[in-house]
Structure 1
Amino acid sequence: MKKELSKNEVDYIEEYQKNGFCCNFLFQKGTLLETESKYSYQPDEIFIVAHHRYEGMSNPDDMSILYVIETADSKKGTYLLGYGPSADLEAAEFFKDIPEKNYTNNADINKLT
């Protein structure tokens, strides 16, 4: 039986990295940039494999969402986006522009292997 993951972004990121989601993405100039290839992805080139929402235990305004991403050219990685009062509104709009058909209903990390 697999160990249950804590409700911590870092634990999930490490688990996804073990499962091949190793690319790093940055939001830059209205696109999602893969840091190694320097390719800039548009919303229709992004597929959301899973996502996890978090609230800070000591501060409910400390909120984030971890997106688990696969791109149209098969790059796999994660992107952590703050939301709530401290949100990067441009990045939030970018993820909002990803077509609904590019989101999966599967958020169970155990089914990704």
Structure 2
Amino acid sequence: MKKSYSSLSVAIEDLQKEGYTEDFNLVEEGIESKNLRKKWKAGELDVVKYYRFEGMTDPGDNTILYLIETKGGVKGLLVDAYGADQSVVSSAMIQKLRINHAK
């Protein structure tokens, strides 16, 4: 796992090789894996690390790649193109995904 990556696609490829193979999607109470047909609430997962990618032409066009591990040991990636949307995602999940710059 590198400190930074040149692009989102390079990061995904490298991190999948390191075992972060599941493709997670945000849902109201947490995340889901369509492949595994399973959902996890915010309290059932940890954000291990995140990477931010900003658009070259539009600074507002950013993407955050989250490395997530569930309490059951499932490791995967969550790509969030615009940051957590409060109208769709629970407050517990927003807190889980909040980026703490003090770390």
TM-score (ref. length: structure 1): 0.71
Q: 1:4 to 1:33 in 2, by over 3 A?
A: closer
- The answer to whether the 8 Å contact 2:67/2:76 transfers is yes
| Structure having the higher Rg | 1
2:40 matched to 1:41?
A: yes
- The answer to whether the 8 Å contact 1:66/1:78 transfers is yes
Structure 1: gaps (5+ residues): 106-113
2:94 is aligned to 96
- The answer to whether the 8 Å contact 1:43/1:99 transfers is no
- The answer to whether the 8 Å contact 1:81/1:88 transfers is no
2:90 matched to 1:80?
A: no
Number of matched pairs: 97
Q: 1:94 to 1:14 in 2, by over 3 A?
A: farther
Which consecutive segments of 4 or more residues in structure 1 shift more than 3 A? 3-6, 91-95
2: CA distance between counterparts of 1:20 and 1:95? 23
> Per-residue deviation at 1:31?
2.9
- The answer to whether the 8 Å contact 1:45/1:72 transfers is yes
Q: Hey, which of these two has a bigger chunk of helix by percent?
A: 1
1:60 is aligned to 59
TM-score (ref. length: structure 2): 0.77
Q: 1:99 to 1:58 in 2, by over 3 A?
A: closer
> Per-residue deviation at 1:46?
1.2
- The answer to whether the 8 Å contact 2:30/2:40 transfers is yes
Structure 2: gaps (5+ residues): none
- The answer to whether the 8 Å contact 1:5/1:11 transfers is no
> Per-residue deviation at 1:60?
0.8
- Specify the SS of the correspondent of 2:78: strand
Q: CA RMSD in A?
A: 2.8
- What is the percent sequence identity of the aligned residues? 28
- The answer to whether the 8 Å contact 2:4/2:51 transfers is no
